[in-house]
Chain A
Amino acid sequence: DTGVSQDPRHKITKRGQNVTFRCDPISEHNRLYWYRQTLGQGPEFLTYFQNEAQLEKSRLLSDRFSAERPKGSFSTLEIQRTEQGDSAMYLCASSLVRGGSNTEAFFGQGTRLTVV
């Protein structure tokens, strides 16, 4: 499978615990996006990377959230001291920027987080 891969698919955690999600983009894609989606809403942009550089962060990304893409390949999204309001689907997408153009974004299946 050469699509965007996310792990885990589901995570249940207790309030106050830390969680980390992983995203493996399509191998040649240099851009990687994180989105969050709550029930009944469309996905909301959180942050994006161009190679290993994090170039934009949404105001939705509080201090408890941190994302990394250390080698410009896979990315991790960590949430510290989880709250019930963090319960959502976390989606990763990737695209290729080359020669002044950007392909459409390809999304993974998401990680569904439930904070109890």
Chain B
Amino acid sequence: DAKTTQPPSMDCAEGRAANLPCNHSTISGNEYVYWYRQIHSQGPQYIIHGLKNNETNEMASLIITEDRKSSTLILPHATLRDTAVYYCIVRVADYGGATNKLIFGTGTLLAVQP
């Protein structure tokens, strides 16, 4: 079973920041938080991941609370092409010996409105 809880859907106005929350209250010390998104009829796309520090890349920022029980994915300037299902996943740090499979929940459908 997925170890994360996300709202089923959210709306965001084009050009505004989209803030997608995720609860992972049972996260273990060796588990990372990963975010993927899936645009309609495509495969999931990696966005970002982090352990305990905030992370930023060209796609998004990831803010993890100090107790690591929740996180927020931030898309700073949402566009219509960001409309997708966003999945928050906790994943054990892999040193090459574990399956490291991704366990997806049902995610959050982000609808960016013009």
A contact residues vs B (CB 8 Å cutoff): 4, 31, 33, 35, 40-45, 48, 55-56, 91, 93, 95, 97-102, 104-110, 112
Q: B79-114, CB under 8 A of A: which get 1 and which 0? A: 000000101000000111001111111110000000
B43 interface residue, CB < 8 Å from A?
yes
Would you call A102 and B106 a contact (CB within 8 A)?
no
Would you call A101 and B101 a contact (CB within 8 A)?
no
Minimum Cβ distance to chain B for residue A52 (Å): 16
Q: How many residues of B contact A (CB 8 A)?
A: 23
Q: Which of B11-19, B22-30, B44-52 contacts A (4 or more CB under 8 A)?
A: B44-52
How many A-B pairs with Cβ below 8 Å? 61
Give the contacts of B40-75 with A (CB-CB under 8 A): 41-46, 49
Question: DSSP majority for the B interface?
Answer: loop
Since A48-B101, A112-B41 are in contact, a sample of 16 more A-B pairs with Cβ atoms closer than 8 Å, ordered by chain A residue number, is A31-B100, A33-B101, A35-B102, A41-B106, A43-B102, A45-B101, A56-B99, A93-B43, A98-B96, A102-B94, A105-B102, A107-B43, A109-B42, A109-B43, A110-B42, A110-B43
Chain A residues contacting B87 (CB-CB under 8 Å) are 42
Chain A residues contacting B44 (CB-CB under 8 Å) are 43, 91, 93, 107
Would you call A104 and B95 a contact (CB within 8 A)?
no
Would you call B43 and A104 a contact (CB within 8 A)?
no
Would you call A42 and B95 a contact (CB within 8 A)?
no
Known: A104-B34, A107-B44. A97 touches B96 (CB 8 A): yes
